[in-house]
Chain A
Amino acid sequence: MEMKFERNSFGKRLKSMLSVDFRRMFTMPLFYIMVGISLVIPILILVMTTMMDGTVSVNPQTGVETVMEGFDSTWQAIGSVSGEGMMMDMSLTGMCNVNMLYFFVAVFVCLFVSEDFRSGYSKNLFTVRAKKSDYVISKTLAGFVGGACMLIGFFVGAMLGGAISGLPFDTGTAGIYGIVMCLLSKILLVAVFVPIYLAVSVAAKQKTWLSIVGSLCVGMLLFTMIPMLTPLDSGIMNVILCLAGGVLFSIGLGAASNKILRKTSLV
Protein backbone atom coordinates (compact mmCIF):
# COMPACT_ATOMS: atom_id res chain seq x y z
CA MET A 1 0.00 0.00 0.00
CA GLU A 2 1.63 3.23 -1.21
CA MET A 3 0.69 6.36 0.72
CA LYS A 4 0.16 9.45 -1.37
CA PHE A 5 1.53 12.78 -0.18
CA GLU A 6 0.56 16.12 -1.61
CA ARG A 7 3.44 17.84 -3.34
CA ASN A 8 4.71 20.79 -1.36
CA SER A 9 6.14 23.14 -3.96
CA PHE A 10 8.65 25.84 -3.03
CA GLY A 11 6.05 28.53 -3.68
CA LYS A 12 3.49 26.90 -1.40
CA ARG A 13 6.04 26.35 1.35
CA LEU A 14 7.30 29.92 1.16
CA LYS A 15 3.79 31.34 1.13
CA SER A 16 2.83 29.50 4.31
CA MET A 17 6.10 30.44 6.02
CA LEU A 18 5.63 34.10 5.06
CA SER A 19 2.09 34.04 6.37
CA VAL A 20 3.38 32.71 9.71
CA ASP A 21 6.12 35.32 9.98
CA PHE A 22 4.04 38.30 8.92
CA ARG A 23 1.11 37.20 11.06
CA ARG A 24 3.51 36.95 14.00
CA MET A 25 5.28 40.21 13.26
CA PHE A 26 2.08 42.24 12.97
CA THR A 27 0.54 40.71 16.10
CA MET A 28 3.56 41.00 18.38
CA PRO A 29 3.89 44.09 20.62
CA LEU A 30 7.65 44.18 19.95
CA PHE A 31 7.10 45.32 16.37
CA TYR A 32 4.88 48.23 17.38
CA ILE A 33 7.18 49.15 20.26
CA MET A 34 10.19 49.27 17.91
CA VAL A 35 8.32 51.33 15.28
CA GLY A 36 7.02 53.58 18.08
CA ILE A 37 10.54 54.10 19.44
CA SER A 38 11.77 54.84 15.91
CA LEU A 39 9.04 57.46 15.58
CA VAL A 40 9.58 59.11 18.96
CA ILE A 41 13.39 59.19 19.01
CA PRO A 42 13.87 61.77 16.20
CA ILE A 43 11.18 63.99 17.72
CA LEU A 44 12.99 63.94 21.07
CA ILE A 45 16.41 64.44 19.46
CA LEU A 46 15.35 67.34 17.26
CA VAL A 47 13.31 69.11 19.93
CA MET A 48 15.90 68.68 22.68
CA THR A 49 18.95 69.59 20.61
CA THR A 50 17.16 72.68 19.26
CA MET A 51 16.32 73.74 22.81
CA MET A 52 19.94 73.29 23.87
CA ASP A 53 21.46 74.78 20.70
CA GLY A 54 24.09 77.39 21.56
CA THR A 55 24.19 76.51 25.23
CA VAL A 56 27.66 77.08 26.62
CA SER A 57 29.00 74.71 29.23
CA VAL A 58 32.22 75.38 31.13
CA ASN A 59 34.45 72.64 32.48
CA PRO A 60 35.04 73.76 36.11
CA GLN A 61 38.49 72.18 36.22
CA THR A 62 39.96 73.34 32.91
CA GLY A 63 37.76 76.35 32.32
CA VAL A 64 37.25 75.26 28.70
CA GLU A 65 33.98 76.37 27.20
CA THR A 66 31.96 74.01 25.03
CA VAL A 67 29.17 75.29 22.83
CA MET A 68 26.35 72.83 22.25
CA GLU A 69 25.64 72.57 18.55
CA GLY A 70 22.22 71.45 17.41
CA PHE A 71 20.87 70.51 13.99
CA ASP A 72 20.87 73.19 11.27
CA SER A 73 18.26 71.44 9.16
CA THR A 74 15.66 68.72 9.67
CA TRP A 75 17.32 66.63 6.95
CA GLN A 76 20.46 66.28 9.07
CA ALA A 77 18.50 63.72 11.06
CA ILE A 78 18.30 61.64 7.89
CA GLY A 79 21.85 62.00 6.59
CA SER A 80 24.69 64.23 5.47
CA VAL A 81 25.47 65.52 2.02
CA SER A 82 28.41 63.81 0.21
CA GLY A 83 31.72 65.04 1.58
CA GLU A 84 30.27 66.05 4.94
CA GLY A 85 30.38 63.60 7.74
CA MET A 86 31.66 60.82 5.52
CA MET A 87 34.12 59.73 8.16
CA MET A 88 32.99 58.46 11.51
CA ASP A 89 31.38 61.61 12.87
CA MET A 90 31.34 61.46 16.65
CA SER A 91 29.38 64.70 17.14
CA LEU A 92 25.81 64.65 18.45
CA THR A 93 24.35 65.41 15.03
CA GLY A 94 26.59 62.78 13.43
CA MET A 95 25.58 60.03 15.86
CA CYS A 96 21.94 60.84 16.49
CA ASN A 97 20.53 60.29 13.05
CA VAL A 98 18.66 57.59 11.17
CA ASN A 99 21.79 55.42 10.91
CA MET A 100 21.50 54.35 14.53
CA LEU A 101 18.30 52.55 13.55
CA TYR A 102 20.37 49.76 12.02
CA PHE A 103 21.23 48.79 15.61
CA PHE A 104 17.55 48.89 16.56
CA VAL A 105 16.84 46.59 13.62
CA ALA A 106 19.42 44.19 15.11
CA VAL A 107 17.51 44.09 18.40
CA PHE A 108 14.23 43.54 16.56
CA VAL A 109 15.54 40.73 14.32
CA CYS A 110 17.32 38.98 17.21
CA LEU A 111 14.25 39.05 19.45
CA PHE A 112 12.02 37.98 16.57
CA VAL A 113 14.18 34.97 15.69
CA SER A 114 15.20 33.90 19.19
CA GLU A 115 11.54 33.84 20.30
CA ASP A 116 10.98 30.97 17.85
CA PHE A 117 13.63 28.92 19.62
CA ARG A 118 12.92 30.06 23.19
CA SER A 119 9.20 29.27 22.96
CA GLY A 120 9.89 25.91 21.32
CA TYR A 121 7.82 26.93 18.29
CA SER A 122 10.84 26.00 16.16
CA LYS A 123 9.95 22.34 16.87
CA ASN A 124 6.57 22.77 15.18
CA LEU A 125 8.12 24.78 12.38
CA PHE A 126 11.00 22.53 11.51
CA THR A 127 9.18 19.24 11.96
CA VAL A 128 6.91 20.07 9.04
CA ARG A 129 9.59 21.98 7.16
CA ALA A 130 12.37 19.81 5.88
CA LYS A 131 13.75 22.71 3.81
CA LYS A 132 15.35 25.27 6.08
CA SER A 133 15.69 27.76 3.23
CA ASP A 134 11.95 28.59 3.58
CA TYR A 135 12.62 29.81 7.09
CA VAL A 136 15.69 31.83 6.12
CA ILE A 137 14.03 33.54 3.14
CA SER A 138 10.87 34.29 5.06
CA LYS A 139 12.69 35.65 8.11
CA THR A 140 14.92 37.81 5.88
CA LEU A 141 11.88 39.29 4.14
CA ALA A 142 9.99 39.82 7.41
CA GLY A 143 13.07 41.39 9.01
CA PHE A 144 13.51 43.63 5.99
CA VAL A 145 9.88 44.80 6.10
CA GLY A 146 10.13 45.33 9.87
CA GLY A 147 13.34 47.34 9.45
CA ALA A 148 11.85 49.35 6.58
CA CYS A 149 8.81 50.20 8.74
CA MET A 150 11.17 51.39 11.48
CA LEU A 151 13.09 53.58 9.02
CA ILE A 152 9.85 55.06 7.69
CA GLY A 153 8.77 55.61 11.30
CA PHE A 154 12.02 57.49 11.94
CA PHE A 155 11.52 59.57 8.79
CA VAL A 156 7.98 60.54 9.85
CA GLY A 157 9.26 61.25 13.38
CA ALA A 158 12.03 63.48 11.94
CA MET A 159 9.48 65.45 9.93
CA LEU A 160 7.31 65.91 13.01
CA GLY A 161 10.34 66.75 15.16
CA GLY A 162 11.52 69.29 12.60
CA ALA A 163 8.11 70.92 12.49
CA ILE A 164 7.77 71.02 16.29
CA SER A 165 11.25 72.42 16.86
CA GLY A 166 10.95 74.90 13.99
CA LEU A 167 14.01 73.65 12.11
CA PRO A 168 14.23 74.54 8.40
CA PHE A 169 13.16 71.98 5.76
CA ASP A 170 15.42 73.52 3.14
CA THR A 171 16.73 70.63 1.00
CA GLY A 172 19.83 72.58 -0.06
CA THR A 173 22.10 70.87 -2.57
CA ALA A 174 20.50 67.44 -1.93
CA GLY A 175 17.11 68.33 -3.39
CA ILE A 176 13.91 66.34 -3.00
CA TYR A 177 15.15 63.74 -5.50
CA GLY A 178 18.35 63.19 -3.51
CA ILE A 179 16.46 62.81 -0.25
CA VAL A 180 14.02 60.32 -1.77
CA MET A 181 16.93 58.32 -3.21
CA CYS A 182 18.73 58.55 0.15
CA LEU A 183 15.72 57.17 1.99
CA LEU A 184 15.29 54.42 -0.60
CA SER A 185 18.98 53.51 -0.33
CA LYS A 186 18.75 53.38 3.45
CA ILE A 187 15.69 51.13 3.26
CA LEU A 188 17.47 48.81 0.81
CA LEU A 189 20.53 48.83 3.05
CA VAL A 190 18.39 47.11 5.71
CA ALA A 191 18.61 44.07 3.42
CA VAL A 192 22.39 44.07 3.97
CA PHE A 193 22.09 44.10 7.76
CA VAL A 194 19.13 41.76 8.26
CA PRO A 195 20.90 38.65 6.83
CA ILE A 196 23.86 39.36 9.16
CA TYR A 197 21.58 39.56 12.21
CA LEU A 198 19.66 36.50 11.04
CA ALA A 199 22.83 34.42 10.64
CA VAL A 200 24.00 35.40 14.13
CA SER A 201 20.54 34.72 15.58
CA VAL A 202 20.14 31.24 14.08
CA ALA A 203 23.63 30.40 15.33
CA ALA A 204 22.82 31.67 18.84
CA LYS A 205 19.28 30.15 18.76
CA GLN A 206 17.57 30.61 22.15
CA LYS A 207 20.46 32.65 23.59
CA THR A 208 18.92 36.07 22.91
CA TRP A 209 21.67 38.02 24.65
CA LEU A 210 24.32 36.31 22.51
CA SER A 211 22.48 37.04 19.29
CA ILE A 212 22.00 40.72 20.20
CA VAL A 213 25.61 41.23 21.30
CA GLY A 214 26.93 39.30 18.29
CA SER A 215 24.71 41.20 15.87
CA LEU A 216 25.70 44.58 17.30
CA CYS A 217 29.40 43.68 17.10
CA VAL A 218 29.19 42.46 13.50
CA GLY A 219 26.87 45.33 12.54
CA MET A 220 29.38 47.79 13.98
CA LEU A 221 31.92 46.69 11.36
CA LEU A 222 29.64 47.87 8.58
CA PHE A 223 28.23 50.86 10.41
CA THR A 224 30.87 53.27 9.09
CA MET A 225 29.85 52.42 5.52
CA ILE A 226 26.31 53.70 5.92
CA PRO A 227 26.96 57.47 5.52
CA MET A 228 29.20 56.79 2.50
CA LEU A 229 26.67 54.55 0.77
CA THR A 230 23.62 56.63 1.53
CA PRO A 231 24.41 60.38 1.53
CA LEU A 232 21.56 62.86 1.60
CA ASP A 233 22.21 63.72 -2.06
CA SER A 234 22.02 60.09 -3.20
CA GLY A 235 21.37 59.19 -6.79
CA ILE A 236 20.09 56.13 -8.56
CA MET A 237 23.60 54.59 -8.33
CA ASN A 238 23.39 54.59 -4.53
CA VAL A 239 20.04 52.84 -4.74
CA ILE A 240 21.41 50.23 -7.16
CA LEU A 241 24.50 49.76 -5.01
CA CYS A 242 22.43 49.18 -1.85
CA LEU A 243 20.04 46.89 -3.74
CA ALA A 244 22.94 44.84 -5.09
CA GLY A 245 24.53 44.71 -1.63
CA GLY A 246 21.23 43.63 -0.11
CA VAL A 247 20.74 40.87 -2.66
CA LEU A 248 24.33 39.64 -2.34
CA PHE A 249 24.28 39.63 1.46
CA SER A 250 20.86 37.99 1.53
CA ILE A 251 22.00 35.20 -0.79
CA GLY A 252 25.43 34.70 0.76
CA LEU A 253 24.52 34.96 4.41
CA GLY A 254 21.17 33.27 3.74
CA ALA A 255 23.10 30.25 2.49
CA ALA A 256 25.22 30.40 5.64
CA SER A 257 22.11 30.58 7.88
CA ASN A 258 20.61 27.68 5.94
CA LYS A 259 23.75 25.63 6.49
CA ILE A 260 23.77 26.46 10.23
CA LEU A 261 20.15 25.30 10.54
CA ARG A 262 20.82 22.12 8.56
CA LYS A 263 23.92 21.16 10.49
CA THR A 264 22.99 22.07 14.05
CA SER A 265 20.42 20.91 16.57
CA LEU A 266 17.15 22.84 16.33
CA VAL A 267 16.00 22.23 19.90
Chain B
Amino acid sequence: MNAIEIRDLRKSFGAKQALCGLNMTVPVGAIYGFIGENGSGKSTTEKIICGLIHQSGGNIKLFGRDHTDADVRARVGVLIEAPGCFPNYSVWNNLMLQAANLSIKNADDEVRKVLRTVRMEGAASNKYKNCSLGMKQRIGIAMALLGNPALLVLDEPINGLDADGMRIMREVLSDITKNYQCTVVISSHILGELEKIATHYGIVRGGKMIREMTAEELEAGCRTYVALQTKDMNRTKTLLGCKYSRVVEENGYIRVYDAESPEEIVTYLYENNILVSEITTDKIGLEEYYIDLMNEKEVR
Protein backbone atom coordinates (compact mmCIF):
# COMPACT_ATOMS: atom_id res chain seq x y z
CA MET B 1 0.00 0.00 0.00
CA ASN B 2 1.09 3.55 -0.65
CA ALA B 3 1.02 6.25 1.97
CA ILE B 4 0.62 8.90 -0.73
CA GLU B 5 -0.59 8.38 -4.24
CA ILE B 6 -0.98 11.47 -6.38
CA ARG B 7 -2.22 11.38 -9.94
CA ASP B 8 -2.29 14.27 -12.40
CA LEU B 9 -2.16 16.96 -9.72
CA ARG B 10 -2.70 20.43 -11.09
CA LYS B 11 -2.69 23.80 -9.38
CA SER B 12 -2.67 27.27 -10.80
CA PHE B 13 -2.39 30.61 -9.03
CA GLY B 14 -4.12 32.97 -11.44
CA ALA B 15 -2.29 32.63 -14.74
CA LYS B 16 0.70 30.87 -13.18
CA GLN B 17 0.64 27.09 -13.43
CA ALA B 18 2.39 25.81 -10.28
CA LEU B 19 1.70 22.11 -10.79
CA CYS B 20 1.10 20.59 -14.20
CA GLY B 21 -0.02 16.99 -13.83
CA LEU B 22 2.30 15.91 -11.03
CA ASN B 23 2.34 12.21 -10.14
CA MET B 24 3.85 10.95 -6.90
CA THR B 25 3.96 7.63 -5.12
CA VAL B 26 5.24 7.28 -1.58
CA PRO B 27 5.19 3.75 -0.15
CA VAL B 28 4.19 3.20 3.49
CA GLY B 29 7.22 3.47 5.78
CA ALA B 30 9.35 5.33 3.24
CA ILE B 31 11.48 8.35 4.00
CA TYR B 32 10.80 10.26 0.85
CA GLY B 33 13.25 12.95 -0.15
CA PHE B 34 11.32 15.50 -2.16
CA ILE B 35 13.77 17.49 -4.26
CA GLY B 36 13.43 20.37 -6.65
CA GLU B 37 14.48 23.91 -7.40
CA ASN B 38 12.81 26.91 -5.78
CA GLY B 39 9.36 27.35 -7.30
CA SER B 40 9.29 23.83 -8.71
CA GLY B 41 6.10 23.00 -6.80
CA LYS B 42 7.36 21.09 -3.72
CA SER B 43 5.73 23.27 -1.08
CA THR B 44 2.55 23.62 -3.13
CA THR B 45 2.30 19.82 -3.36
CA GLU B 46 2.89 19.46 0.38
CA LYS B 47 0.32 22.10 1.21
CA ILE B 48 -2.24 20.35 -1.00
CA ILE B 49 -1.49 16.99 0.66
CA CYS B 50 -2.13 18.61 4.05
CA GLY B 51 -5.34 20.28 2.85
CA LEU B 52 -4.02 23.79 3.34
CA ILE B 53 -4.63 24.78 -0.27
CA HIS B 54 -6.93 23.26 -2.84
CA GLN B 55 -5.86 21.64 -6.06
CA SER B 56 -7.23 22.75 -9.41
CA GLY B 57 -7.34 19.16 -10.61
CA GLY B 58 -6.14 15.61 -10.07
CA ASN B 59 -6.56 13.31 -7.14
CA ILE B 60 -4.68 12.49 -3.97
CA LYS B 61 -4.98 9.39 -1.87
CA LEU B 62 -3.51 9.02 1.58
CA PHE B 63 -3.27 5.38 2.72
CA GLY B 64 -5.80 4.43 0.06
CA ARG B 65 -8.37 7.02 1.13
CA ASP B 66 -9.19 10.45 -0.21
CA HIS B 67 -6.91 13.10 1.28
CA THR B 68 -9.91 14.97 2.69
CA ASP B 69 -10.87 11.97 4.85
CA ALA B 70 -11.03 13.28 8.45
CA ASP B 71 -9.81 10.00 10.00
CA VAL B 72 -6.63 9.88 7.91
CA ARG B 73 -5.90 13.58 8.22
CA ALA B 74 -6.03 13.32 12.01
CA ARG B 75 -2.83 11.23 11.68
CA VAL B 76 -0.83 13.68 9.56
CA GLY B 77 1.93 15.71 11.19
CA VAL B 78 3.22 18.77 9.40
CA LEU B 79 6.00 21.31 9.45
CA ILE B 80 5.56 23.61 6.47
CA GLU B 81 7.69 26.75 6.27
CA ALA B 82 7.72 27.99 9.90
CA PRO B 83 6.18 26.07 12.80
CA GLY B 84 2.68 27.28 13.70
CA CYS B 85 3.15 28.38 17.29
CA PHE B 86 1.86 31.26 19.38
CA PRO B 87 4.87 33.50 20.07
CA ASN B 88 3.86 34.53 23.60
CA TYR B 89 3.14 30.99 24.76
CA SER B 90 5.82 28.78 26.25
CA VAL B 91 7.08 25.80 24.26
CA TRP B 92 5.21 23.54 26.68
CA ASN B 93 1.89 25.43 26.29
CA ASN B 94 2.16 25.41 22.51
CA LEU B 95 2.65 21.66 22.54
CA MET B 96 -0.15 21.13 25.07
CA LEU B 97 -2.45 23.12 22.82
CA GLN B 98 -1.63 20.85 19.90
CA ALA B 99 -2.11 17.84 22.18
CA ALA B 100 -5.60 19.16 22.97
CA ASN B 101 -6.21 19.64 19.26
CA LEU B 102 -5.38 15.97 18.73
CA SER B 103 -7.38 14.75 21.77
CA ILE B 104 -4.29 13.07 23.21
CA LYS B 105 -5.15 11.36 26.48
CA ASN B 106 -1.80 11.34 28.32
CA ALA B 107 -0.87 14.75 26.99
CA ASP B 108 1.84 15.47 29.59
CA ASP B 109 3.70 12.21 28.90
CA GLU B 110 3.32 12.55 25.16
CA VAL B 111 4.62 16.14 25.17
CA ARG B 112 7.60 15.10 27.33
CA LYS B 113 8.31 12.27 24.88
CA VAL B 114 8.38 14.48 21.79
CA LEU B 115 10.44 17.11 23.62
CA ARG B 116 12.97 14.38 24.42
CA THR B 117 12.99 13.27 20.80
CA VAL B 118 13.80 16.79 19.58
CA ARG B 119 16.33 17.43 22.40
CA MET B 120 14.29 20.23 23.94
CA GLU B 121 13.49 18.87 27.43
CA GLY B 122 15.34 21.73 29.07
CA ALA B 123 13.64 24.46 27.07
CA ALA B 124 9.99 23.59 27.71
CA SER B 125 9.35 26.69 29.81
CA ASN B 126 10.97 29.09 27.30
CA LYS B 127 8.68 31.42 25.46
CA TYR B 128 8.46 30.38 21.82
CA LYS B 129 9.39 33.88 20.61
CA ASN B 130 12.69 33.70 22.55
CA CYS B 131 13.81 30.44 20.89
CA SER B 132 16.50 30.32 18.20
CA LEU B 133 15.69 29.30 14.62
CA GLY B 134 17.03 25.79 15.18
CA MET B 135 14.96 25.40 18.34
CA LYS B 136 11.86 26.68 16.57
CA GLN B 137 12.30 24.14 13.79
CA ARG B 138 12.65 21.37 16.36
CA ILE B 139 9.53 22.60 18.18
CA GLY B 140 7.74 22.43 14.84
CA ILE B 141 8.89 18.84 14.44
CA ALA B 142 7.79 18.06 18.01
CA MET B 143 4.33 19.43 17.19
CA ALA B 144 4.20 17.32 14.05
CA LEU B 145 5.20 14.22 16.03
CA LEU B 146 2.39 14.57 18.55
CA GLY B 147 -0.42 12.06 18.23
CA ASN B 148 1.64 9.26 16.67
CA PRO B 149 1.38 10.48 13.06
CA ALA B 150 1.15 7.95 10.24
CA LEU B 151 2.50 10.54 7.81
CA LEU B 152 4.96 13.31 8.54
CA VAL B 153 5.39 16.14 6.05
CA LEU B 154 8.47 18.26 6.68
CA ASP B 155 9.13 21.18 4.39
CA GLU B 156 12.78 22.21 4.44
CA PRO B 157 13.37 21.58 8.15
CA ILE B 158 17.16 21.97 7.91
CA ASN B 159 17.40 25.08 5.78
CA GLY B 160 18.83 28.14 7.46
CA LEU B 161 20.37 26.21 10.36
CA ASP B 162 23.97 26.61 11.47
CA ALA B 163 26.36 23.64 11.58
CA ASP B 164 25.42 22.69 15.14
CA GLY B 165 21.72 23.13 14.48
CA MET B 166 22.06 20.93 11.42
CA ARG B 167 23.89 18.25 13.39
CA ILE B 168 21.15 18.17 16.06
CA MET B 169 18.47 18.14 13.39
CA ARG B 170 20.20 15.22 11.63
CA GLU B 171 20.20 13.27 14.91
CA VAL B 172 16.54 14.15 15.50
CA LEU B 173 15.50 13.03 12.02
CA SER B 174 17.53 9.87 12.38
CA ASP B 175 15.77 9.12 15.72
CA ILE B 176 12.37 9.75 14.16
CA THR B 177 13.04 7.33 11.33
CA LYS B 178 14.16 4.69 13.83
CA ASN B 179 11.62 5.15 16.62
CA TYR B 180 8.43 6.34 14.93
CA GLN B 181 6.83 3.97 12.48
CA CYS B 182 5.68 6.68 10.14
CA THR B 183 6.09 7.62 6.52
CA VAL B 184 8.12 10.80 6.15
CA VAL B 185 8.08 13.23 3.25
CA ILE B 186 10.95 15.64 3.61
CA SER B 187 11.88 18.36 1.19
CA SER B 188 15.24 20.05 1.33
CA HIS B 189 17.86 21.76 -0.76
CA ILE B 190 20.60 20.30 1.40
CA LEU B 191 20.88 17.09 -0.55
CA GLY B 192 23.95 15.80 1.28
CA GLU B 193 21.90 15.64 4.49
CA LEU B 194 18.88 14.18 2.75
CA GLU B 195 20.99 11.42 1.22
CA LYS B 196 21.87 10.13 4.68
CA ILE B 197 18.30 9.33 5.65
CA ALA B 198 16.07 9.02 2.56
CA THR B 199 14.93 5.64 1.26
CA HIS B 200 13.06 7.06 -1.73
CA TYR B 201 13.44 10.17 -3.83
CA GLY B 202 11.19 12.27 -5.98
CA ILE B 203 12.65 14.96 -8.19
CA VAL B 204 10.26 17.65 -9.31
CA ARG B 205 10.73 20.34 -11.89
CA GLY B 206 8.37 22.93 -13.33
CA GLY B 207 5.43 21.40 -11.47
CA LYS B 208 6.06 17.90 -12.81
CA MET B 209 7.68 14.85 -11.29
CA ILE B 210 10.66 14.13 -13.50
CA ARG B 211 12.00 11.11 -11.64
CA GLU B 212 11.06 8.88 -8.73
CA MET B 213 13.44 6.23 -7.45
CA THR B 214 14.53 4.29 -4.42
CA ALA B 215 17.86 4.84 -2.68
CA GLU B 216 19.08 1.58 -4.30
CA GLU B 217 18.11 2.81 -7.75
CA LEU B 218 19.94 6.06 -7.09
CA GLU B 219 22.99 4.08 -5.98
CA ALA B 220 22.88 2.00 -9.15
CA GLY B 221 22.21 5.03 -11.32
CA CYS B 222 25.03 7.10 -9.90
CA ARG B 223 28.04 6.94 -12.17
CA THR B 224 31.47 5.95 -10.92
CA TYR B 225 34.30 8.36 -11.47
CA VAL B 226 38.04 8.29 -11.02
CA ALA B 227 39.60 11.19 -9.09
CA LEU B 228 43.34 11.77 -9.38
CA GLN B 229 46.12 14.20 -8.63
CA THR B 230 49.38 14.76 -10.47
CA LYS B 231 52.14 17.32 -10.28
CA ASP B 232 51.09 18.93 -13.55
CA MET B 233 47.33 19.23 -13.29
CA ASN B 234 46.85 21.47 -16.35
CA ARG B 235 48.68 19.14 -18.74
CA THR B 236 46.98 16.11 -17.21
CA LYS B 237 43.57 17.69 -17.71
CA THR B 238 44.34 18.55 -21.33
CA LEU B 239 45.63 15.05 -22.01
CA LEU B 240 42.71 13.30 -20.37
CA GLY B 241 40.35 15.66 -22.17
CA CYS B 242 41.62 14.30 -25.48
CA LYS B 243 40.74 10.72 -24.54
CA TYR B 244 37.68 10.99 -22.27
CA SER B 245 34.53 12.95 -22.92
CA ARG B 246 33.93 14.25 -19.36
CA VAL B 247 36.91 15.50 -17.39
CA VAL B 248 36.32 18.02 -14.60
CA GLU B 249 38.68 19.65 -12.13
CA GLU B 250 37.15 19.97 -8.70
CA ASN B 251 38.56 20.54 -5.19
CA GLY B 252 42.15 19.98 -6.36
CA TYR B 253 41.31 16.69 -8.11
CA ILE B 254 40.70 15.82 -11.73
CA ARG B 255 37.58 13.70 -12.12
CA VAL B 256 37.18 11.38 -15.08
CA TYR B 257 33.65 10.10 -15.43
CA ASP B 258 33.82 7.64 -18.31
CA ALA B 259 36.99 5.68 -17.68
CA GLU B 260 36.83 1.88 -17.71
CA SER B 261 39.23 1.55 -14.78
CA PRO B 262 41.84 3.57 -12.85
CA GLU B 263 44.59 1.35 -14.29
CA GLU B 264 43.65 2.45 -17.79
CA ILE B 265 44.17 6.13 -16.79
CA VAL B 266 47.42 5.46 -14.94
CA THR B 267 48.82 3.61 -17.96
CA TYR B 268 47.71 6.32 -20.37
CA LEU B 269 49.29 9.09 -18.28
CA TYR B 270 52.47 7.06 -17.72
CA GLU B 271 52.81 6.63 -21.46
CA ASN B 272 52.64 10.44 -21.65
CA ASN B 273 55.30 10.90 -18.96
CA ILE B 274 52.95 11.97 -16.19
CA LEU B 275 53.13 10.28 -12.82
CA VAL B 276 49.96 9.95 -10.78
CA SER B 277 50.48 10.89 -7.12
CA GLU B 278 47.00 9.93 -5.85
CA ILE B 279 44.06 8.10 -7.41
CA THR B 280 40.68 6.92 -6.06
CA THR B 281 37.37 5.74 -7.46
CA ASP B 282 34.08 6.99 -6.09
CA LYS B 283 30.42 7.44 -7.01
CA ILE B 284 28.65 10.70 -7.53
CA GLY B 285 26.25 11.61 -4.73
CA LEU B 286 22.64 12.72 -4.81
CA GLU B 287 23.65 16.33 -5.25
CA GLU B 288 25.68 15.66 -8.39
CA TYR B 289 23.09 13.23 -9.67
CA TYR B 290 20.49 15.94 -9.24
CA ILE B 291 22.62 18.59 -10.95
CA ASP B 292 23.34 16.18 -13.81
CA LEU B 293 19.66 15.42 -14.16
CA MET B 294 18.76 19.09 -14.16
CA ASN B 295 21.40 19.86 -16.80
CA GLU B 296 20.25 16.92 -18.89
CA LYS B 297 16.66 18.16 -18.81
CA GLU B 298 17.76 21.69 -19.57
CA VAL B 299 19.62 20.55 -22.69
CA ARG B 300 16.53 18.67 -23.86
Instruction: Give chain A's interface residues, CB within 8 Å of chain B.
Output: 1-3, 5-8, 12-13, 15-17, 19-20, 23-24, 27, 29, 115, 119-131, 262-263, 265-267
Contacts and interface: CB of A to CB of B under 8 A. Distances in A.
Nearest to B153: A127
Contacts of A263: 54
Interface in B65-118: 65, 68-78, 80-89, 93, 96-98, 100-103
B71 A5 contact: yes
Contacts of B76: 127-128
Given A20-B100, A20-B101, A266 B53 contact: yes
Contact of A121 (B53, B73, B86, B150): B86
From DSSP, what is the main secondary structure of chain B's interface residues?
Answer: loop
Nearest to A15: B103
Interface centre among A2, A13, A130, A266 (most CB of B within 10 A): A130
Interface stretch (B44-52, B167-175, B201-209, B219-227): B44-52
B73 A115 contact: no
A127 B232 CA distance: 59
B143 A124 contact: yes
Given A5-B74, A126-B51, A128-B147, A120 B81 contact: yes
B64 interface: yes
B85 A119 contact: yes
Contacts of A2: 1, 64
Nearest to A1: B1
Q: Give the 7 A-B residue pairs with the shortest CB-CB distance, closest first.
A: A120-B84, A16-B103, A5-B71, A121-B84, A130-B70, A127-B50, A130-B73
Given A15-B103, A120-B85, 6 more contacts: A3-B1, A5-B63, A8-B71, A27-B93, A123-B52, A131-B70
5 contacts: A5-B65, A12-B103, A16-B101, A127-B78, A128-B102
A19 B100 contact: yes
A120 B128 CA distance: 13
B143 A130 contact: no
B166 interface: no
Contacts of A1: 1, 28
Contacts, number: 112
B73 A127 contact: yes
A19 B71 CA distance: 19
Contacts of B147: 128
Contact of B53 (A8, A13, A265): A265
Given A2-B1, A16-B102, A129 B73 contact: yes
A20 B70 CA distance: 18
Contacts of A27: 89, 93
A267 B52 contact: yes
Contacts of B85: 119-121
Contacts of A115: 86
Contacts of A6: 71, 74
Nearest to A125: B101
Contacts of B89: 27
A13 B78 CA distance: 19
A5 to B, nearest CB: 4
Given A3-B1, A20-B97, A127 B103 contact: no
Contacts of B102: 16, 128
A3 B76 CA distance: 14
B137 to A, nearest CB: 13
B183 to A, nearest CB: 10
Interface in B15-65: 28, 47, 50-54, 63-65
Nearest to A128: B74
